[in-house]
Each structure stands twice: as C-alpha cells, then as structure tokens.
Amino acid sequence: MNVALPLGRFDLFLQAGRLLSHHLARAGGIQARAFETALALQYFRELVPVVGSERGIGLDEVAGRICDGMYRKSDGRLPRGPQGEDLIWPLLNLDRDGVPQPLLPQTSEQSDFRWHKLCNGQRGIGCHAAALHFWQDNSFIESDRDLCPFRVYDGQTPLMIDQGRQKCGFDGNPCGWQPGLPKFLQVLGPGRDAQLSRVPWTVRMWQALVPPEAALPVYPVIASLYFAAPHLVHERHSITPEQFRADFGFDEEVFAALFNGNRDQPLNRHLLESIDAPLPDTPLTAAQLMLPVLPPERERSRPTGGRLVVDPDEKPRYARSNKSSGISQDPLLAERRRRRQLERTARHDETLTQFRRWFRLAGKEVREDTDTFDFLAIDENLVLLAEIKILGQQDLADAIQETVGQLLYYRRFALAPWREEGYPIAMAAVFERPPFGEFVDFLREVNIHTYWIGEDQHIDGPEESLALIRALGVQVRADPELMRG
C-alpha cells in the first residue's frame, strides 16, 4: 500500500537523515556518492544523449545543472553559504549522527569538484571506454573488475593506487576505471572539456551501487530528497512511492531492486509513525554541520602549543610544547621521546619539509612539537593533524599500525584544547612514497587521509584526500582529469 508522505516537514527531513545514516551503517556495500550521481542523472536523463549521438553533454553542465540541480535546497530553516547562496544537500551525505552535510555549489571557487570526479574519475561512474557488454557478461562481473582491457599501465604507480595516472587506450585520456563500479556514462575528451553520453542502464548496474540486501527504505529517501526542493515538489503537498517512481522514470524492476517500499520495514515504519507526531522545527546551524567552508557561528579562541613554523622551507626543529595535557603525565614519555628522535631521520625531515611548505605558501598556520605531533595545520574552521612515516625504514604493516595509534592518541590528548574549542580535527598519514592500495583503503575506513610527496615535490594522494586540502587553498598535484586539454 502506497502511503502519501507529507512534503515540507522539516522534522521529517531531519528524522530521515538519522534513519538513512543508520541504514548505511547497518547495511554496508552501498556506493553512496556514485548512487547520488546516478540518481541525479536518472532524473535528468533526457538531458544526457545516448552513446552514438553526435555530441554529449558537457561535464560542467552535468555537475552544475544536473547534480547540483537535483540536490539544491532552499528553505529558511537551512543554513546558507558564505555568500548567501543555496547549498547542495546530497541524499546520503550524512555525519555519524545522521545530520545532513551540505556542499557549496560546483560554481564556487571553494568547491571540491565532487560531481566532476564522480562522473569522470576514481570512484566514479564514467569511463572513456564505457561498454554495456561489460555489465551483461557474467564472467566479467564475477571476475576481477580491476582488469579493464583498455587501461594502459604507466609502469610506475601501483594499480591499487591508480589516481588518474594510467591512460585509457580508447582515447589516451586519464583512466577513470575503478573495480566494482559500473560505468553509466561514456566520457570523451580531456578534463573539464569532456562530453558525456549515457549507455542503457540495467538492474545489475544499479545493484552494483545498491546491493539487493541493502535496498534503501523508500520513505526516508522521499522525505530527505523532496524537502525544500521545488523542482521535485511541483507544488504538491504529499507524495507516494509510486509518484516518486514515476518522477524518476524507474521501471518497476529497477525500483524494487533499489528501494524497500514495505511500510512494515523498521525504518519505513519509524518515519511513518512520525507523521502524526510532529516535532518542533529546530533550524540547523553552521556549528551543527561542521562544514569547513561555512563561517563559524561564533569566534573561537585559538589554543597555543608546539613551535610555530614561519618560513616555508624551514627545517624541522621540534620545539617542545608548553601546553598542559594528559600526555605530559605519560610514564613512558622518556622512551617515547627516544623513539620519536630515532624516527626523525633526514628522510623524515625532508618529507615533512616538503609537505608543510605548501601549507605555509597557502598562508596556513603550521606547528610542530618535539613530544607529540609532527605537523599541525590550523585553518579557521579545520585543524589537520599529520604524522610523517618513512616506509623504507621499517616493515610496512608495522608503520601503518604505529601511524594509526599515534594519530588517535595525539588527537585525544595533545589536541584536547582544540577539540574543546569545537574545531573539527582531520587526521592524515604522510609517506615518502605511495603505500599499497589496501593500506590506503584501511586508513580511509578509520577516517585518516593519506598523502605522499611525488617526484615533482608536490603533495599527492587519493582524490578524496587531495580534495580536503585543495579546499583549504593548498596546492597539490595537478589533477589530469580536471585539466583542460
């Protein structure tokens, strides 16, 4: 039975975020960002030519008109951007508490090019050599999807890292293949000049993004997607799942594969029970959202500690912190100091110097500490804690384990004053060369960004890690997928 869900209810929007966050944590296997992109393309499918048309749609237009267009919301109970602009609210971009996390529009200078990368890049759904037979061939689907027959290995970077360095033998542009993700789009042309066309999409392609056992609860999806989205609402006051299916042009088989419409499913039932018990509207604030690009609700004080690094090319000196924290009471402090000094070799210091110079050139405050952290960069709305580790000096697994333990410990104790002031703290591991891809995946799972210093002395790393510091204005390796040809 289709229940009509009332639209415009802010309390249902917030409730839906909490329920979807719970579903993502419990179900697993959902490729959230790729699904959001495919969902927007499905709604605006008439704007995207099919493969074989004379010309596709531009990558910038897909990012701005289609993806931003789908998820832009306008409501007085939602925060706005730094210039008063409406923000972009992807369906499944939620924090651990289920609070929706907005983005700046792709036209903003501070944008991280999220949609560009998801259409044409690592962890994206676009490919230069997109071919439907890849996703109708059972032997291919069940095999190692990392083996694209068109990819040309560059001979240097491990395939497990593969951040746009490989080339596509189809047209010579940076490879965007990623194992396990179907390619909904064909991408022709370099960088942001690329033209996109769509191939026919099958149930199996969609299920690669949302596994059958992880079908999304339909009522929280509707409440989250349609709230404050006039382009979807069309002056309606309520909507049923069947109307949602018709709006997006899903056939019944695909819709049933992606969404659980059973009103007795626990998350659906929980939202439906809230229809007759509305909660008072409580506007979201920038402080709740923890979005780095939004100005803070109030001025924060800035803790001190460690030695301030001034010169971009200054060598590490590791001045001891004068701040008081739990770390100063550590009975193993002398031994830990000794180990820290053994770690801080000439190669370690060179890697640290190269990493932090780009932050200093971007005007960021940078600190170091003899007892604890190697690197601390302070932005007005974000603190980045980094540990430098030289992989050539010890067993790789040991190095990764030490890095995780050190970062978590320093975040808890050495950075307590920053946490108490409400600064979001991001953690990063910095290496002199790329680690194996499985370690990059592991660090990502524990919310640690990965960086290394490339041959050109620029900061390099996985795209989602580079996007974080790009947003701070820090110069990184040029992205070949976004460079104009």
What pLDDT is attached to residue 467? 82
Q: Higher model confidence: residue 270 or residue 96?
A: 270
Q: What is the mean predicted confidence (pLDDT) over 201-209?
A: 91
Ranked by mean pLDDT, which of 177-186, 191-200, 214-223 comes out on top? 214-223
Q: Which of 90-99, 275-284, 293-302 has the lowest mean pLDDT?
A: 293-302
Share of the chain above pLDDT 90, in %: 45
Calculate mean pLDDT across residues 320-342.
52
Percent of the chain with pLDDT over 70: 81
How would you classify the pairing of strands 425-431 and 382-389? parallel
pLDDT given at position 219? 97
Which pLDDT value is given to residue 327? 44
Q: What is the per-residue pLDDT for 474?
A: 93
pLDDT of residue 135: 57
For residues 333 and 388, the model is more confident at 388
Nearest to 63 by CA among 137, 143, 120: 120
91, 90, 116: which is closest to 103 by C-alpha? 90
Cα–Cα distance, 410 to 407 (Å, whole number):
5
Q: 48 pLDDT exceeds 60? A: yes
pLDDT given at position 305: 77
- pLDDT at residue 180 is higher than 80: no
Most confident of 83-92, 212-221, 457-466: 212-221
Q: Looking at residue 298, what is its pLDDT?
A: 44
Q: What is the DSSP string of 24-57?
A: HHHH----HHHHHHHHHHHHTGGGSPBTTSS--E
Q: Which of 105-119, 148-162, 314-328, 451-465 has the lowest mean pLDDT?
A: 314-328
Report pLDDT for 417. 87
For residue 102, give the 3-state DSSP assignment.
coil
Eight-class DSSP state of 473: T
The residue written with tokens 């917030």 in the block is 14
Residue 85 confidence (pLDDT) above 80:
yes
Whether residue 63 contacts residue 115, with contact meaning beta carbons closer than 8 Å, is answered with yes
Task: Locate 264 and state its tokens.
Answer: 């007795």
Q: Is the pLDDT of residue 324 over 60?
A: no
Residue 296 confidence class, pLDDT cut points 50, 70, 90: very low
Highest mean pLDDT, choosing among 109-118, 403-412, 431-440: 403-412
| DSSP per-residue letters across 294-339 | SPPSSPPP----SEEE-STTPPP--PPP----GGGG-TTHHHHHHH
Question: Comparing C-alpha atoms, which of 467, 474, 471, 465 is closest to residue 434?
Answer: 465
Looking at residue 276, what is its pLDDT? 87
Q: HSE on the CB side for 373, CA within 13 Å?
A: 29
Q: How many CA atoms lie within 13 A of 410 on its CB side?
A: 29
pLDDT at 15 over 50: yes
Q: What is the pLDDT, as a whole number, of residue 158?
A: 63
For residues 142-160, give the mean pLDDT: 65
pLDDT at residue 257 in the model: 97
C-alpha–C-alpha distance, residues 158 and 166, integer Å: 10
What is the pLDDT, as a whole number, of residue 113? 81
Which of 80-84, 195-199, 329-333, 390-394 ranks highest by mean pLDDT?
195-199
pLDDT score, position 33: 92
How do beta strands 216-217 and 185-188 pair?
unpaired
What's the pLDDT at 311? 79
Residue 322 has pLDDT above 60, yes or no: no
Indicate the range of 87-96, 110-119, 222-231, 257-266 predicted with least confidence.
110-119
Q: What's the mean per-residue pLDDT of the chain?
A: 83
Q: Are 135 and 205 in contact (CB under 8 A)?
A: yes
Instruction: Look at residue 165 and tell me whether its pLDDT is greater than 70.
Output: no
Close Cβ partners of 242 (under 8 Å, ≥ 6 residues apart): 2
**Which stretch, 128-137, 182-191, 254-263, has highest mean pLDDT?**
254-263
7 closest CA partner among 261, 243, 257: 243
Residue 329: pLDDT over 60: no
Mean pLDDT of 347-360: 93
* More confident site: 298 or 39: 39
pLDDT at 174: 77
Q: State the pLDDT at residue 134.
A: 61
Mean pLDDT of 34-61: 93
Whether 294 shows a pLDDT value over 50: the answer reads no
What pLDDT, on a 0 to 100 scale, did the predictor assign at position 291? 38
For position 83, what pLDDT does the model report? Answer: 83
